Amino acid sequence: MFDVLVYLYETYWRPDACPDHAQLTRKLSAVGFETDEIQEALSWLDGLAHAAESYQGEQGVTSMRVYSVDELDHLGEASVGFISFLASAGVLPPPMREMVIDRAMAIPGAPMDLEDLKIIVLMVFWSLGEEPDALILDELFVAPEDRLIH
């Protein structure tokens, strides 16, 4: 499913540029994605679209997030740490953080793989029509061992 999401991010600059589900399914099949993977991704994107529609900044900048036991188990330590890092850096405001957590909880399997969580973060930005700055893109895509320290 995550390969489909990355393909959509790279191919369509924003969600409203995507064709309807039937046409998108045909295009994704033609590219070589499996039907199950396509349907899972489209279903997940429907949930993301719903979350993006109800996105609003009702939580204050200083709000604190307390994770439930189920969320901690599902997300895993690395993912919770990454979400906290992005939030403390001011890159992931509380409403976007909640979208990330909601969409991560919709993925089966636990604990969440950190690389998959990074794709979810990217898709949340994409769904809101926001482009993450270069430093965040670097954090999302460049492996720590490949970073150059200046």
DSSP string, 47-92: HHHHHHHT----S-TT------HHHHHHHHHHHHHHHHHHHHTTSS
**Is the Cβ–Cβ distance between 99 and 50 less than 8 Å?**
no
Q: Residues near 105 by Cβ (< 8 Å), separated by ≥ 6?
A: 70, 71, 74, 75
- Between CA 114 and CA 70 the distance in angstroms is 17
pLDDT score at 150 = 44
pLDDT score at 40 = 94
Q: How many CB atoms lie within 10 A of CB 46?
A: 11
This prediction has a pTM of: 0.81
What are the pLDDT tens digits along the chain (150 aa)? 899 998 998 888 788 788 888 999 999 999 999 999 999 999 999 999 888 887 765 555 567 789 999 999 999 999 999 999 888 888 888 888 999 999 999 998 888 899 999 999 999 988 888 877 666 666 666 555 554 444
Q: What is the residue whose two structure tokens read 């979810």?
A: 120
Q: Which H/E stretch holds residue 115?
A: helix 114-127
Rounded-to-10 torsion of CA 125, 106, 78, 138: -20
In terms of residue numbers, what domain contains 99?
Answer: 2-146
pLDDT score at 88 = 86
Q: How many CB atoms lie within 10 A of CB 33?
A: 17
Number of independent structural domains in the chain: 1
**Is the Cβ–Cβ distance between 34 and 148 less than 8 Å?**
no
